[in-house]
RNA sequence: GUGGCUGUAGCUCAAUGGCAGAGCAUCGCACUGUGGAUGCGAGGGUUGUGGGUUCAACCCCCAUCAGCCACCCCA
């Protein structure tokens, strides 16, 4: 064991049972994305560092990206997010695309960070964006997609809530307190971190960045005002749209939601475990000028990203992960001895020809061992062809969950097995 | 990048500084034409690695590596 080369820190190994979950997640994401009329796309996994340098969060690129020189000396980055690539892809074909664009993607991303609960260095992310529309109803659509997804995977509104806020509203409120420009950015950050900090620490940091006592009180009032959204014409329309879309039970207004990324200019939202701990399972918002940063004409949009790690933890916590079913509908054809190997092999082929998932025991072993193998894999049906059956042109069909066995004519076996599999799948 | 906790059999974990163990798993037998159950037995370890203290180290000290958790940031 000691000679095994360790895997790269924070990377993921997907054993079949985990791969099954990953594919299931992908299928649910696809289902919801398609239901809302979105098209799948993808960008490169490798990008030049310059693509991210202009925007994103400063730290996201400088400290959290995997960067290495290629043979030509260019600095190459393993993509830490998809949005800049998306912006470029839109800019490249800006005049031929039909707006609004509805695109989604699911793929791997890398961030050079210290792994911990809910965070790895290699992860999969669902990105979904509506670009070229600039209305509260467009914003609401993305929140609704998020809610529909939660509903589709079996997460209920009392388990996970989507918390919504609007940056223009916060801007306006902070402006009223005399907080603007650089200081505003710092206060955004402070609001974002409020939940994690002790009250005294929070207040002392607020003072440190130069807020007056009056301003601090004002910020605290903003953070506690659950009715503040009524001052935002945009949010009023967003919540009204969400009501019409039938997902408002999943949504709540929260004045503390800000988000770290600088490019959000309108609605911002995150999905949180109501049980409190952990981190946001998903986050997104509205941006005014995404495409402009990479050289296109300004184009507004709204989108969100969801990582596979946190959502899987939530599914696990609420016991909503799919139950493995890989071998339920599979038939094991056992091998009795060398003289009957060909007979079993032939029958296995016949099963497959009829579209039945079939495993052939690949060597001669005790029946006991072969049946134990079937049991361990969760196979429900086993075929035994021994001398007694073979001589009469029969074979034995074992129903493992019921512990029963039926000897039938080989010519009738396929129909019997199909019937049995159909019965078992109903259980 | 900063801090805390933990590294003992394949897995989960025991073991006052004094002979390294259990449960589960694996393999074998009871049971050479039938899985889950039961009983009996077997294999499996340089106690993460390197140094130090000691008559004696899984245990104490130092370093290092790895894992987990938190901070930072974020999916």
pLDDT of residue A248: 96
**Stretch among A51-65, A245-259, A355-369, A390-404 having the lowest mean pLDDT:** A51-65
CATH class of this structure's domain A16-317: alpha beta
- Class of the A330-426 domain? alpha beta
Residues A352, A358, A364, A368, CA torsion sign: negative
Map residue A159 onto helix, strand or coil: coil
Which are the contacts of A399, defined by CB distance < 8 A and separation ≥ 6?
A380, A381, A405, A406, A420, A424
* Strand B nucleotides where any atom sits below 7 Å of a protein CB: 1-3, 10, 26, 28, 31-36, 46, 48, 66-75
Work out the average pLDDT over A219-235.
94
**What does the domain layout of chain A look like in residue ranges?**
16-317, 330-426
Q: Which of A236, A247, A346 is nearest to A32 (CA)?
A: A247
Residues pairing with A137 in the sheet? none
A129 and A301 in contact (C-beta within 8 Å)? yes
A105 touches strand B (CB under 7 A): no
Element (H, E) at A110: strand A101-110
Is residue A65 within 8 A of residue A52, CB to CB? The reply is: yes
- Using pLDDT thresholds of 50, 70 and 90, give the confidence band for residue A3: low
pLDDT, average across residues A143-148? 98
Q: Do domains A16-317 and A330-426 have the same CATH topology?
A: no
Report which of residues 267-326 in chain A place their beta carbon less than 7 angstroms from any atom of strand B.
270, 277-283, 305-307, 309-310
Say which nucleotide is closest to residue A309, CA to C1' distance.
B75
Q: How confident is the model over A23-44, as pLDDT tens digits?
A: 999 999 999 999 999 999 999 9
Mean residue pLDDT of chain A comes to 90
**Of A240, A246, A243, which Cα lies nearest the Cα of A151?**
A246
Could you say which residues 119-138 of protein chain A have a Cβ atom less than 7 A away from any atom in strand B?
119-121, 123, 125
Mean pLDDT of the A95-113 span:
95
The number of residues in chain A equals 427
- The two three-digit tokens of residue A207, written as one number: 């003072």
Q: What is the pLDDT of residues A376-417, one digit of tens each?
A: 888 999 999 999 999 999 999 999 988 899 999 999 999 999
* ipTM of the complex, rounded to two decimals: 0.85
């Amino acid at each position: 064991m000691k000679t095994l080369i360790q895997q790269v820190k924070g990377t993921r190994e997907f054993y079949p049972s985990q791969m099954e979950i990953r594919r299931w997640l992908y299928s649910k994401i696809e289902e919801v994305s398609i239901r809302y009329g979105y098209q799948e796309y993808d960008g490169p996994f490798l990008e030049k560092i310059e693509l991210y340098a202009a925007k994103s969060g400063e730290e996201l690129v400088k400290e959290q990206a995997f960067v290495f020189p290629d043979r030509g000396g260019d600095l190459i980055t393993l993509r830490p997010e998809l949005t800049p690539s998306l912006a470029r892809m839109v800019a490249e074909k800006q005049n031929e695309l039909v707006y609004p664009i509805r695109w989604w993607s699911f793929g791997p991303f890398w961030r050079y960070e210290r792994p911990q609960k809910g965070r790895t260095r290699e992860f999969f992310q669902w990105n979904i964006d509506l670009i070229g529309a600039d209305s509260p109803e467009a914003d609401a659509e993305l929140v609704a997609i998020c809610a529909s997804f939660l509903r589709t995977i079996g997460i209920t509104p009392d388990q996970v809530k989507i918390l919504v806020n609007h940056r223009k509203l916060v801007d306006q409120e902070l402006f009223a307190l005399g907080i603007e420009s650089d200081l505003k950015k710092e206060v955004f950050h402070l609001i974002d971190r409020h939940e994690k900090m002790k009250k005294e620490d929070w207040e002392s940091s607020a003072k440190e960045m130069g807020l007056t006592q009056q301003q601090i009180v004002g910020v605290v009032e903003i953070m506690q005002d659950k009715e503040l959204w009524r001052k935002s014409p945009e949010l009023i329309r967003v919540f009204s749209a969400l009501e019409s879309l039938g997902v408002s039970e999943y949504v709540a207004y929260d004045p503390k939601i800000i988000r770290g990324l600088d490019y959000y200019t309108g609605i911002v939202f995150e999905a949180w475990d109501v049980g409190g701990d952990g981190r946001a399972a998903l986050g997104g918002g509205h941006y005014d000028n995404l495409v402009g940063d990479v050289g296109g004409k300004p184009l507004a949009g709204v989108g969100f990203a969801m990582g596979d790690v946190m959502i899987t933890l939530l599914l696990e916590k609420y016991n909503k992960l799919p139950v493995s079913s890989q071998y339920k509908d599979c038939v094991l054809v056992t091998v009795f001895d060398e003289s009957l190997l060909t007979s079993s092999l032939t029958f296995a082929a016949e099963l497959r020809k009829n579209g039945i998932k079939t495993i052939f025991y690949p060597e001669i072993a005790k029946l006991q061992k072969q049946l134990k193998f079937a049991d361990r894999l969760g196979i429900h049906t086993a075929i035994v062809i021994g001398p007694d059956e073979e001589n009469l042109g029969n074979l034995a069909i074992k129903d493992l969950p019921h512990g029963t066995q039926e000897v039938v004519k080989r010519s009738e076996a396929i129909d019997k097995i199909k019937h049995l599999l159909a019965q078992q799948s109903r259980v």
